[in-house]
Chains A and B, each alone.
Chain A
Amino acid sequence: MSLLNLKDVTKDYKLGKTVVRALRGLDLDINKGEIVAIMGPSGSGKSTLMHILGCLDTPTSGEASIEESQIRTLSESQLVALRGRKIGFVFQTFNLMQTLSAQQNVELPMIFQGTKKKDRAQRAVELLTKVGLADRVHHRPNELSGGERQRVAIARALANDPEILFADEPTGNLDSESGGTILELLKRLSEEEGKTLIIVTHDPDAAAIAERIIRLRDGRVVEEEVRNA
């Protein structure tokens, strides 16, 4: 069943006076529960694609839909609500709040959803335990290693029990060992919890956990590879 669907999607950016076309008529289908890797060189449109799939941005033309609802027809607040409930993000640079503890970072998405304090705290500890940080709950990001920070970020992405998990270069800032651990964790969690996982990456190792690899070049899909991972 198609969860995310793009039809002839283009995306233009204005850089000063020149218009840069990041996506040039892109068609894509992603099914529920799939693990998909989006690969391509710098400037191929990977991040732009992730932003559109993640409802962070809207296409210039074409149709993008999530669970049959057109992204373009949604208001800003509907998009926010959609992101909050259905989508979790893991970033290359972790993007944790330096002022908050690991637990508070994981609670943050739940705060914006209005989850009760007690439920929030319980869920945050539960998730941190799942990612193997039960003993790091009260540590601040600067007291954690890169791999641990990314695990906090994964726990945060899962906080509101989203259907889709986006990981933007999740191993980009990690050594190969902790990168490997993170990938395993992402794969295990998305399979256990039945999440759709979309990894945007340069890293062939990261792509190796995917069931399908989509390669982009110059804003178009140039190759799709279905794997039996």
Chain B
Amino acid sequence: MLKDFFLLAARSITHRRMRSWLTVIGVFIGITAVVALISIGLGLNKTVEQQVSGVFGVDTFVLVPKGSFGPQSHAGGSSEQYALDLQFLKSIPGVKVAAAVRQRTGFVQGPTRADGTSTQGFLPVMGLSTELVDEFESFTGELTVQPGGRLFIAGDTDVAVLGADTAKRLGAKIGDSILVAGDDKKELNLTVVGIMTPSDEQVSTGSSGGFSAGMTSGQNKDTIYVPYDTMSLLWGESNDVLVTLVRTQPGADVDEVADRVQKELTARGSEISSITYSDISDAIGTMTTTVSAFLAGIAGIALLVGAVGVMNTMFTSVLERTKEIGVMKAVGAKNSHILTIFLIESGLMGFVGGVVGTLAGLGLSALASMFIGRFFGVQMAVVASPSLVLITLAGSFSLGAMAGLWPARRASKLLVVDALRYE
């Protein structure tokens, strides 16, 4: 019997083709918006996670100044730099490699020119652990130096790598010697071993974007890079660390090691917070979920408008078919039969809108992915999970049926005599 009711409902829909299509379009727009936004939201989440895990690796965590990450990051009072005993950090169980970046402003004097003059001034000096380059390439990205130069290698001390602008301003070439002065009249003559490639010439390679942009572009173009230990020779113990990267021993629980490191370093006066992959992933998850929910909420409004369209069409349909309903009742249809036929009819319109909308929504999110890929160089994943599709299809049928419930009830309650008299 239900199959026959489906047939009756389908006949009625196709009989009023124009109006049915317009109604379906209303649902379709709503469903398209919901599916596209959810799919894009999921894709974004997945992509960001992939990016983060590509950079971060699940065995790595970062130490940043206390309060600079997470919910309290805007509460104020956080310092930008912190003190760190790198040797002690390396000795904490579970830590395999640790590398830090520290920064000061120092007096710098460029190489003496032929006429006996030289450029001098105060410039930012950044100390990089040599492990940073060897072990954490995914963080630093492809730090590249201009041809003929090199980055730091283990054992380097009296060497420097210059930012492209700095080299120009100081008039320094590879092999030249520059003077850098630290605290307490400590000063070192450092040999320039490399000059950074200007950032606009650096090739962006997707997931390895990492820190390299920050290290070679913008304000850092006029920076002088020295090995971490050279920093210690000039300025003594560090209380000027910007960031520390830690890789754990194979098999160690990253979050556990991060907690331990944070506790032990805090006890020694380091004002730090640790950020693990799961912290970032949680933060991203919360953020993208919030954004997705917000967008889906907006799309929900479109869906609501679609549902009102179905309701309107069904009311019109009930009115138009009053006599037909009377005839069906006269030939033996129960109220429940009429109710079912009309619910199926509105549900079917919702369902068709759902099918078209799901396809269009997925198409739209694939298009968005292509667009993002082309203009931002990020390969965004298209998420078309079967559960999303199934839930949407079932949901769109129920949406239609629910929108049709009131008109269908009205149809089923019509008195047969009144319905037959209706002109």
Stretch at the interface among B70-78, B276-284, B333-341: B333-341
- In the complex with contacts A97-B324, A99-B15, A56-B420 CB distance below 8 A: yes
Who on chain B is nearest to A82 by CB? B332
B415: min CB distance to chain A, Å = 8
Contact of A112 among B15, B328, B416 (CB under 8 A): B328
Task: List residues of chain B with CB within 8 A of the CB of A76.
Answer: 335
Residues 69-102 of chain A: 1 if any B CB is under 8 Å from the residue's CB, otherwise 0? 0000000110011011100110100010111100
Task: List residues of chain A with CB within 8 A of the CB of B1.
Answer: 111, 114
* A126 adjacent to chain B (CB < 8 Å): no
Who on chain A is nearest to B334 by CB? A80
Task: List residues of chain B with CB within 8 A of the CB of A88.
Answer: 331
Instruction: Give Cα A54 to B416, complex, Å.
Output: 11
Please report which residues of chain A, range 92-125, place their CB below 8 angstroms from some CB of chain B when the two chains form the complex.
Answer: 95, 97-100, 108-109, 111-114, 117
B12, A84: Cβ atoms under 8 Å? no
B334, A112: Cβ atoms under 8 Å? yes
A112, B331: Cβ atoms under 8 Å? yes
Please report which residues of chain B, range 301-331, place their CB below 8 angstroms from some CB of chain A when the two chains form the complex.
Answer: 323-324, 326-331
Contact of B332 among A51, A91, A95, A113 (CB under 8 A): A113
Task: List residues of chain A with CB within 8 A of the CB of B337.
Answer: 112
- In the complex with contacts A111-B1, A111-B4, A95-B327 CB distance below 8 A: yes
Who on chain A is nearest to B327 by CB? A95
Residues 8-39 of chain A: 1 if any B CB is under 8 Å from the residue's CB, otherwise 0? 00000000000000000000000000000000
Instruction: Give Cα A89 to B332, complex, Å.
Output: 11
B220: min CB distance to chain A, Å = 74
Task: List residues of chain B with CB within 8 A of the CB of A77.
Answer: 334
* B11 adjacent to chain A (CB < 8 Å): yes
Task: List residues of chain B with CB within 8 A of the CB of A63.
Answer: none
B188: min CB distance to chain A, Å = 94
- In the complex with contacts A51-B417, A56-B417, A95-B323, A80-B332 CB distance below 8 A: yes
A89, B335: Cβ atoms under 8 Å? no
Question: Which among B1, B328, B331, B420 has the highest number of chain A CB atoms within 10 Å?
Answer: B331
A109, B11: Cβ atoms under 8 Å? no
A4: min CB distance to chain B, Å = 17
Instruction: Give Cα A156 to B416, complex, Å.
Output: 18
B327, A91: Cβ atoms under 8 Å? yes
Instruction: Give Cα A159 to B333, complex, Å.
Output: 14
* A160 adjacent to chain B (CB < 8 Å): yes
Who on chain A is nearest to B14 by CB? A99
Instruction: Give Cα A51 to B333, complex, Å.
Output: 16
B332, A112: Cβ atoms under 8 Å? yes
A89, B330: Cβ atoms under 8 Å? yes
Task: List residues of chain A with CB within 8 A of the CB of B14.
Answer: 99
Give the interface of A toward B (CB within 8 A).
51, 54, 56-57, 76-77, 80-81, 83-85, 88-89, 91, 95, 97-100, 108-109, 111-114, 117, 156-157, 159-160
Q: A91-B327, A109-B332, A156-B331 are in contact. List 15 more A-B contacts (CB 8 A).
A: A84-B331, A95-B323, A95-B420, A99-B11, A99-B15, A100-B8, A109-B331, A112-B331, A112-B332, A112-B333, A112-B334, A112-B337, A157-B331, A159-B331, A160-B332
A sample of 28 inter-chain contacts (CB < 8 A) reads A51-B417, A54-B330, A56-B420, A57-B416, A77-B334, A80-B332, A80-B333, A80-B335, A81-B332, A84-B331, A84-B332, A88-B331, A89-B331, A91-B327, A95-B323, A95-B420, A97-B8, A97-B11, A99-B8, A99-B11, A99-B15, A109-B331, A111-B1, A112-B333, A112-B334, A112-B337, A114-B1, A156-B331
